[in-house]
């Protein structure tokens, strides 16, 4: 409105564009670079100077990625492990979050603190005894060897996220349900959980991504190739000394599809969950 | 029927039971056996005899073990570089992402993708970036007129490369948390400062930073705890090499236990790491208890 308005809006718009481009290049460049690499041939790769865009794009690397290693099997393993551990984690955390937010519990803060402390235990110090435990139980190379630890791994953050959602449900609704003959636990599953569906959902996504990304335990508990999860399986494409980058890139791109879909569809929930778990934790 | 008769604390205890059992089985019991195992050793001359009581032998052995100290120092370097590094980069990204974009999803996705990407994938991708002949980093250096660098075969440069990869991977999560903090700062504060003629830099120092302090603190603790456990990225990028130069304590523990099958010593090292990590956590808990305790009811 003032005579100065025009240059100011211009500046602001450039700043906004600049900001968007910097953030996007930072976030997407690695993925874009392996996408480009996955379309190149080995011979194009070793040329000097290196090419940026593939000269003769080929999908051959994707073919090889599917045949060189059982990548679909890795993906299925990851799905089973991440899916079941998420289900277990969400169920157990929902019960805990309900107890901690909707019931008059003694030592509530102490329990919360213990949960927080547990979430900070270094995984590597659990890895050694868990490996021994699973070996004694004969659970190595079974899904259970990962499902149980992964469920526990995400338990604290899921409990915190769900607790922050459960807190906001008016107690009257629950009371009304109980007057109508619902038990307390019935009220949890019929009133509290459905009303805080976004929170339950967010917790589930966080648990799923945590399990999907985990590497150390997956490397430790599963040494049979057919039981490898995706994060470990992807490292099997490299030889001892040779790194066939176009092939590895193609495998990485394939492996990225599920996780990209997940964050693209549920982006707002994920951001909300991350910050609820973080800021409130 | 009977369930209704339970008092609230009793029902609460019942609902907490599954979580407690899982934690006991997967965390408490293993940690207890970790310390127990760390006091035992296997006689190399007679491995069939199994583990025998060794007292603190494993711990004194760690004290004399150069590789333990080196991997601990290396971990300390990763902490010292990547915690402030990810904070600065993450804060920068958060400030940039806090602009009033009309379409929000591209920026949000570009912060989410590095977070959701498995650490191993990031490690592999950055290994590819830092390849000597075919990597994009040396290509860019070349275009800028610099000499290509032997990133992954010099201990110092390999450490730097690993740090860069970790900072990239960690900064987006940092940015997401700080962004949430930025969005809670009332706009009126900036408007008032504007009226008072405060410069952008003054506004940042006097409003943004102080208001962000809780978010920064939480983000820093998260990063520190994660940095103590650094494993995936150097594992995928360098495999600990050249030699053992970039090996972290977590990698050494993994190798001791699963490659050398020395459970006693591996457990002692893991117990030491547990203690390091708990020292960091206790500071955090003290802080949250102070700030949360005031508002909470019980």
Burial class (CB in 10 A: 0-12, 13-18, 19+), A6: exposed
Instruction: Indicate whether A110 pLDDT > 70.
Output: yes
Determine the pLDDT at residue B289.
Answer: 61
Determine the pLDDT at residue A269.
Answer: 79
How far is CA A34 from each of CA A43, A252, A273, B50, B292, rounded to the nearest angstrom?
16, 8, 29, 48, 44
What is the rounded CA–CA span in Å between residue B16 and residue A182? 20
Q: Which residues contact B24 (CB under 8 A, 6 or more apart)?
A: none
> Domain A69-280: which topology?
MetI-like fold (1.10.3720)
pTM equals 0.89
- CATH number for the domain that contains residue B261: 1.10.3720.10
What's the whole-number mean pLDDT along residues B179-195? Answer: 88
CA distance B295 to chain A (A): 11
Within a domain: B83 = yes
A41-59 pLDDT, tens per residue?
Answer: 888 887 777 888 888 888 9
Q: What six digits make up the tokens of B45?
A: 């001359």
Within a domain: B27 = no
Determine the pLDDT at residue B43.
Answer: 66
Within a domain: B219 = yes
Domain count, chain B: 1
* Contact status, residue B260 vs residue A69, Cβ threshold 8 Å: no
What is the rounded CA–CA span in Å between residue B136 and residue B129? 5
Burial class (CB in 10 A: 0-12, 13-18, 19+), A199: buried
Question: Other CB atoms closer than 10 Å to residue B280's CB: what's the count?
Answer: 16
Query: Which among B9, B93, B257 has CB closest to A105?
Result: B9
Q: Residue B2: pLDDT band by 50, 70, 90 thresholds?
A: very low
Instruction: Indicate whether B293 pLDDT > 60.
Output: no
Determine the pLDDT at residue A56.
Answer: 83
B110-123 pLDDT, tens per residue?
Answer: 999 999 999 999 99
Q: Is A242 on the interface with B (CB under 8 A)?
A: no
Q: What six digits make up the tokens of A262?
A: 């997940």
Asked whether the beta carbons of residue B3 and residue A132 sit closer than 8 angstroms, the reply is: no
Q: Is B116 on the interface with A (CB under 8 A)?
A: yes
Determine the pLDDT at residue B285.
Answer: 65
Asked whether the beta carbons of residue B97 and residue A213 sit closer than 8 angstroms, the reply is: no
Locate the DSSP E strands across B15-134: 40-42, 51-53
Q: Residue B55: pLDDT band by 50, 70, 90 thresholds?
A: confident
Set of chain A residues whose Cβ sits within 8 Å of the Cβ of B253: 124, 127-128
What's the whole-number mean pLDDT along residues B89-101? Answer: 90
Query: Which among B19, B136, B250 has CB closest to A93?
Result: B19
Determine the pLDDT at residue B45.
Answer: 62
Determine the pLDDT at residue B172.
Answer: 92
Asked whether the beta carbons of residue B136 and residue A50 sit closer than 8 angstroms, the reply is: yes
Within a domain: B95 = yes
Q: Which residues contact A130 (CB under 8 A, 6 or more apart)?
A: A149, A217, A220, A221, B26, B30
Within a domain: B33 = no
Determine the pLDDT at residue B291.
Answer: 57
Residues 61-80 of B with CB under 8 A from A: none
């Amino acid at each position: 409105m003032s005579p100065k308005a025009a240059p100011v809006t211009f500046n602001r718009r450039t700043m906004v564009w600049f900001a968007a481009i910097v953030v996007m290049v930072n976030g997407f460049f690695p993925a874009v670079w392996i996408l480009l690499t996955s379309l190149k041939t080995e011979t194009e790769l070793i040329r000097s100077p290196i090419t940026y865009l593939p000269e003769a794009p080929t999908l051959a690397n994707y073919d090889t990625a599917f045949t060189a290693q059982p990548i679909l099997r890795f993906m299925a393993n990851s799905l089973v492990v991440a899916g079941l551990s998420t289900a277990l984690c969400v169920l157990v955390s929902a019960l805990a979050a309900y107890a901690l937010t909707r019931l008059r519990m003694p030592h509530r803060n102490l329990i919360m603190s213990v949960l927080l402390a547990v979430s900070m235990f270094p995984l590597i110090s659990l890895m050694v005894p868990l490996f021994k435990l699973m070996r004694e139980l004969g659970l190595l190379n079974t899904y259970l060897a990962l499902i149980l630890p992964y469920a526990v791994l995400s338990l604290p953050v899921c409990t915190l996220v769900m607790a922050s959602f459960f807190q906001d449900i008016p107690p009257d609704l629950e009371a009304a349900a109980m007057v109508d003959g619902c038990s307390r636990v019935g009220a949890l599953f019929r009133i509290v959980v459905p009303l805080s569906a976004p929170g339950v959902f967010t917790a589930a996504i966080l648990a799923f991504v945590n399990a999907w990304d985990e590497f150390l335990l997956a490397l430790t508990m599963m040494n049979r190739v057919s039981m490898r999860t995706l994060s470990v399986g992807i490292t099997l494409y490299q030889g001892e000394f040779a790194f066939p980058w176009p092939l590895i890139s193609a495998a990485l791109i394939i492996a990225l599809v599920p996780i990209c879909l997940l964050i693209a569809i549920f982006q707002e929930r994920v951001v909300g969950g991350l910050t609820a778990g973080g800021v409130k934790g | 029927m009977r369930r209704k008769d339970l008092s609230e604390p009793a029902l609460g205890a019942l609902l907490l039971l599954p979580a407690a059992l899982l934690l006991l089985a997967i965390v408490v019991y293993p940690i207890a056996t970790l310390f127990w195992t760390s006091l035992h050793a296997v006689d190399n001359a007679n491995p069939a005899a199994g583990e025998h009581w060794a007292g603190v032998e494993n711990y004194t052995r760690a004290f004399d073990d150069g590789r333990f100290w080196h991997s601990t120092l290396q971990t300390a370097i990763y902490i010292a570089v990547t915690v402030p590094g990810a904070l600065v980069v993450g804060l920068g990204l958060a400030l940039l992402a806090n602009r009033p974009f009309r379409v929000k999803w591209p920026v949000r996705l570009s912060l989410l993708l590095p977070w959701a990407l498995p650490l191993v994938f990031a490690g592999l991708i950055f290994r590819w970036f830092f390849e000597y002949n075919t990597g994009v980093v040396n290509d860019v250096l070349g275009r800028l007129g610099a000499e290509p660098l032997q990133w992954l075969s010099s201990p110092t440069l390999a450490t730097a490369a690993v740090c860069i990869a970790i900072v990239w991977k960690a900064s987006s999560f940092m940015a997401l948390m700080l962004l949430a903090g930025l969005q809670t700062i009332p706009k009126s504060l900036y408007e008032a400062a504007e009226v008072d003629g405060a410069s952008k830099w003054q506004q940042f120092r006097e409003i943004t930073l102080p208001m962000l302090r809780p978010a920064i603190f939480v983000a820093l603790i998260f990063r520190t705890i994660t940095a103590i456990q650094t494993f995936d990225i150097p594992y995928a990028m360098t495999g600990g090499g050249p030699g053992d130069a970039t090996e972290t304590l977590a990698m050494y523990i993994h190798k001791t236990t699963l490659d050398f099958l020395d459970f006693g010593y591996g457990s002692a090292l893991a117990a030491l790491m547990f203690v390091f990590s708990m020292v960091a956590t206790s500071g955090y808990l003290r802080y949250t208890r102070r700030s949360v305790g005031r508002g909470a009811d019980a």
